[in-house]
Structure 1
């Protein structure tokens, strides 16, 4: 089995696409006005409009109502990313901080309130752990 994507359901696809294009530096593919994909080397971040939910089953998802998922991106220079994004991100949860598990991370919210974590392995153990993942 291969992990393929994470999909965010939103009422404003264009707003989230612009936000994640800025965060990732990747241009989204837009196969339909109600759907977009940001295809990264390790995974795809999909963004679907609330109108797409009935295709999966009525009431199967709710827009902008996430309280348990963190969308994470590994980066090469967390402090550089912070400088690049600090004027663009509206809601910061945590500025760059080294975590007990060896990653230097920062957390912020996207326009729908979803938590986003950018992190960089910085300790020898964390660097080794991620070097095995590719």
Structure 2
């Protein structure tokens, strides 16, 4: 089994697509006005409209902008450089500037426009570097 995708449900697909394109530097594939994907080598971040919930059983299956537990994480080559590149975009959403974590990563934490937590991180100690070897592009 492999995790291949995380999907965010939103009332504003275009706004989230634009945000994630800006912060990741990836271009989204917009299949319809209600569904887009940002595809990386290891996984996909899907963005679906609340309208897509009808295909999964109705409006109560998920609620847009209600996530209070998950963190969407991206590994980056240099979190400090990435922070400098996206600082203006994330300024209203910043939770924590790049900070060393006790498990060996340096992490930048911010929210997307719907309030979902996003972590951009770079492994910095030898154990974390080994753990993520070959995963940084």
How far apart, in 1, do the equivalents of 2:129 and 2:88 lie?
29
Question: 107, 119, 123: which is aligned to 1:121?
Answer: 123
How far apart, in 2, do the equivalents of 1:114 and 1:121 lie?
22
Q: Following TM superposition, by how much is the alpha carbon of 1:132 offset from its aligned partner in structure 2, in angstroms? A: 6.8
Q: Equivalent residue for 1:33?
A: 33
Q: Following TM superposition, by how much is the alpha carbon of 1:117 offset from its aligned partner in structure 2, in angstroms? A: 0.1
The reply to whether residue 108 of structure 1 matches residue 113 of structure 2 is: no
| Structure 1 runs, 4 residues or longer, greater than 2 Å off | none
The reply to whether residue 80 of structure 1 matches residue 81 of structure 2 is: yes
Q: Equivalent residue for 2:21?
A: 21
Residues matched between the structures, number: 134
How far apart, in 2, do the equivalents of 1:120 and 1:114 lie?
20
Normalised to the residue count of structure 1, the TM-score between the two structures is 0.96
Q: Following TM superposition, by how much is the alpha carbon of 1:128 offset from its aligned partner in structure 2, in angstroms? A: 0.9
Output the aligned Cα RMSD.
1.2
Contact residue 23 and residue 89 of structure 2 kept, 8 A? no
Q: Following TM superposition, by how much is the alpha carbon of 1:75 offset from its aligned partner in structure 2, in angstroms? A: 0.2
How far apart, in 2, do the equivalents of 1:109 and 1:74 lie?
16
